[in-house]
Structure 1
Amino acid sequence: MRTLLCTIAACALWASPSLAQIDIVIQYLQVEAPAPSTLSNLDPRPEDLGLAGARVGIEDNATTGRFLGQTYGLQTHTVPEGDDPLPIAITALAQSDFLVIDAPAKALLAIADLPEAQGALLFNTSAPDMPLRSEACRPNLLHTGPSLAMRTDALAQFIQTRRWTDLALIAGEHPLDIAFAEALRGSLKKFGLTLNAEKTWAFDADMRRNAAQEVPLFTQELGDYDLLLVADEIQDFGRYIAFNTWRPRPVAGSEGLTAAGWSTVVEQWGAAQLQSRFRDAAGRDMAPEDYAAWAAIRAIGEAVTRTQSAEAASLRAYMLGPEFELAGFKGRPLTFRNWNGQLRQPIPLVHPRALVALAPLEGFLHQRNELDTLGLDAPESACTTFEAPQ
């Protein structure tokens, strides 16, 4: 049966005699950033992080595209650490209006502001910075990776559901740790929770040898609490906190219970098939950066299929409109917020061995979409370059 080969919607389009050939080439641009030094080398960064997800997305697009007269290609560009990304971005934009970018916020904004990028459609897959979704938003830049606030709001919902009211925080000194800690504070306030104790992790000792001696003394000063939050986004010291605290309490944040854009433990809603396809293609588990790149590629493919257009402006308008939905293997359709370009998506709350919950949690309501309880809602965003909220 034809329905075994393609979706119902795709088959309907495939049967139409008026379909024109559409050829889409997507540019993937990675701007290498310096890797922070950490105590442990147990979690090396894959060389194809993000890119592997884009490749799987291209293959998924091609599966449907074969029946619709669509072809998809992927061209990759890497900017070495310290080099100017703009010349390479200009080269990529000369070849295609679709650019998927793995880069820090500063580079993203510089690329989005290029004259060559004004008619293009750009996707941010890795920078979680809040200003990119607010006062520093750009109309040609959409975000498939979750913001920091989406992750910390998911954690805050879980904390409130568990009625953990006494909270403590340990935050590292790296800029990524500081930003995550600030997002945590904002989320706790948003959901009516209070942070009762806080300390900065400034150790330079080797915790691989000293954790059992140093961490109990360090956490003793926090007093009593229900949950210990850890802001260690560079994965430096957080792994040594659990089971070494003065009081036996659960740990969450960057370690313990974490909120992630994607995790290998997500297996429901058809996710096991995506996980399997990715492992077959990349030889490793799918990381959040891979998922965000996959989602960007698939969003383009879905919009092309529905609009039968290869024009960036038409695809952008469709993605930000009420008809667009992306099946993202997270239990709900994924859509873009038309006030700042952020992809709405559930956030898995996980530990290394299992999925604990999927935010938004039951009871957290919204007048338009419950997914908008995660991250910047329209009244909270200072982005003014997108359409009015719907």
Structure 2
Amino acid sequence: MPKRLIKAALFLCVGLLAGAARADLFLTITFLHQEVPLPPVLSNLDPIPDTLGEDGARLGLGDNRTTGAFLGHNYALQTASVPPGGDLIAAAKSALTASPYLVLNAPAADVLRITDLPEAASALIFNVAAPDTRLRDADCRTNLFHTLPSEAMRADALMQALQRKRFVRLALITGPHAPDKAFAHALRRSAVKFGLKIVGEKEWDFDADMRRNASQEVPLFTQDFKDHDVLLVADEIHDFGRYIAYNTWLPRPVAGSEGLVPVAWSRVVEQWGAAQLQSRFKELTGRDMRPRDYAAWAAVRALGEAVTRTESNDPTRLRAFILSDQFELAGFKGRPQSFRPWNGQMRQPIPLVTDRAVVIQAPVEGFLHQRTELDTLGLDEPESRCEAFQ
């Protein structure tokens, strides 16, 4: 047999063997959803999709499979939803038995219950629903990563934008629910951090129907605020905030949970290829992508990117790579996104949006950092009390 034919046969065999080895590289991810009963709100104009978050994970799975098809990598997504009062721990144990990769759509307390399970010790768990800063601070866990921005990141983004526009005197209205109070706390902390002043605060305590009474009640409610540049609203369940704008005693812009809003994602983000991501999501789901969808997409894509770069599905190796300087995720927000090695939070720009446009994106130009300007948003390494990652 001619030597060139022998060489060709050898190359073919090697290629087939390599392809077979790559085809064995398989990753299963579980999307686990804890259903949470929501308090009643004044308006039902913005219903929450039943598949919020899960749809983002599905889009991420498709993106991973597209890349994996060229490399012999394959991915699967399992989903589980636990009703209120259901056995979340049993569902988590079952998921962790099947795979160490978990995308978790649950409140902070449930996140901690799951990450502390013995079965989760070597797992990689991605939080896509709990913005609680404490999960990135004293309550961090070594197996827990966050693709959803924290309350502190969103608050810092807003304060940078207001400082840039010289809106430095603020008033604050806080809703009665725990998420409202947590966001208000983040806003106060951030105002101090960036040199803005909150000159007045009130807690929303109305039980009247604002759909009929806002034009009479809101001016009286805001009448005793000192002069301010912007009115901050902490209404994270979106109950009363929509009725504040244009009804205040002083004609002032509204920001926070309403008006100018810092978000992980919005349908109005269109630059940096985002319009293409938006259209693919809408084609898949028939609706616009929301922040929790984006966080779930980013979590699944982060795992896919790590598998692609390491040629491995070992959780220890993937974790090390995700926390390394070599990891980058193209997140369609203009800058490569990575994870903070001191608390597992994904660094990412925060768009500040209205219902119809992006106004500005943080980090805002002029806010500098010795490592990356993305670390001006949220807990920087010297501020974080997270010890698990040390």
- The answer to whether the aligner puts 1:20 opposite 2:22 as a matched pair is yes
Q: Equivalent residue for 1:245?
A: 248
* Other structure's SS at 2:265 match: coil
Q: Equivalent residue for 2:216?
A: 213
Output aligned runs, 1:122-133, within 5 Å. Answer: 122-133=125-136
Shift of residue 286 of structure 1?
A: 0.1
Report Cα offsets for 1:157-206 as digits up to 9, x if no partner. Answer: 01111111221011111111000100000000010111001111100000
- The answer to whether the aligner puts 1:351 opposite 2:354 as a matched pair is yes
Shift of residue 16 of structure 1?
A: 11
Q: Equivalent residue for 2:317?
A: 314
- The answer to whether the aligner puts 1:376 opposite 2:379 as a matched pair is yes
* Alpha-carbon distance between aligned partners in 2 of 1:165 and 1:108, rounded to the nearest angstrom: 36
Output aligned runs, 1:126-275, within 5 Å. Answer: 126-275=129-278
* Alpha-carbon distance between aligned partners in 1 of 2:40 and 2:187, rounded to the nearest angstrom: 24
Shift of residue 130 of structure 1?
A: 1.0
* Alpha-carbon distance between aligned partners in 2 of 1:204 and 1:84, rounded to the nearest angstrom: 34
Q: Aligned AA for 1:20?
A: R
Q: Equivalent residue for 1:8?
A: none
* 79-88 or 154-163, which deviates more: 79-88
Q: CA contact under 8 A between 2:199 and 2:226: conserved in structure 1?
A: no
* Alpha-carbon distance between aligned partners in 2 of 1:104 and 1:110, rounded to the nearest angstrom: 10
TM-score (norm 1): 0.94
* 164-173 or 44-53, which deviates more: 164-173
Q: CA contact under 8 A between 1:33 and 1:82: conserved in structure 2?
A: no
* Other structure's SS at 1:67 match: coil
Greater radius of gyration (CA): 2
Q: Equivalent residue for 2:4?
A: none
Q: Equivalent residue for 2:55?
A: 52
* Other structure's SS at 1:20 match: helix
Q: Equivalent residue for 2:114?
A: 111
* Alpha-carbon distance between aligned partners in 1 of 2:17 and 2:134, rounded to the nearest angstrom: 44
Q: Percent identity?
A: 62
Gaps of 5+ in 1: 1-13
Report Cα offsets for 1:234-284 as digits up to 9, x if no partner. Answer: 100000000101111100000000000000000000000000000000000
Q: Equivalent residue for 1:6?
A: none
- The answer to whether the aligner puts 1:338 opposite 2:338 as a matched pair is no
Shift of residue 223 of structure 1?
A: 2.8
* Other structure's SS at 1:318 match: helix
Q: Aligned AA for 1:340?
A: N
Report Cα offsets for 1:317-351 as digits up to 9, x if no partner. Answer: 00000100000000000000000000000000000
Shift of residue 84 of structure 1?
A: 2.9
- The answer to whether the aligner puts 1:61 opposite 2:68 as a matched pair is no
TM-score (norm 2): 0.94
* Alpha-carbon distance between aligned partners in 2 of 1:217 and 1:284, rounded to the nearest angstrom: 38
Gaps of 5+ in 2: 1-14
* Alpha-carbon distance between aligned partners in 2 of 1:178 and 1:28, rounded to the nearest angstrom: 28
The runs of at least 4 consecutive aligned structure 1 residues that moved more than 3 Å come to 14-19
* Other structure's SS at 2:301 match: helix
- Measured at CA, do residues 16 and 381 of structure 1 come closer, stay the same or move farther in structure 2, by a change above 3 Å? farther
Q: Equivalent residue for 1:288?
A: 291
RMSD across aligned positions (CA): 1.3
* Alpha-carbon distance between aligned partners in 2 of 1:45 and 1:352, rounded to the nearest angstrom: 17
* Alpha-carbon distance between aligned partners in 2 of 1:16 and 1:245, rounded to the nearest angstrom: 71
Q: Equivalent residue for 2:305?
A: 302
Shift of residue 119 of structure 1?
A: 1.0
Report Cα offsets for 1:265-323 as digits up to 9, x if no partner. Answer: 00000000000000000000000000000000000000000000001111000000010
The alignment covers a number of residue pairs equal to: 374
Q: Aligned AA for 1:284?
A: R
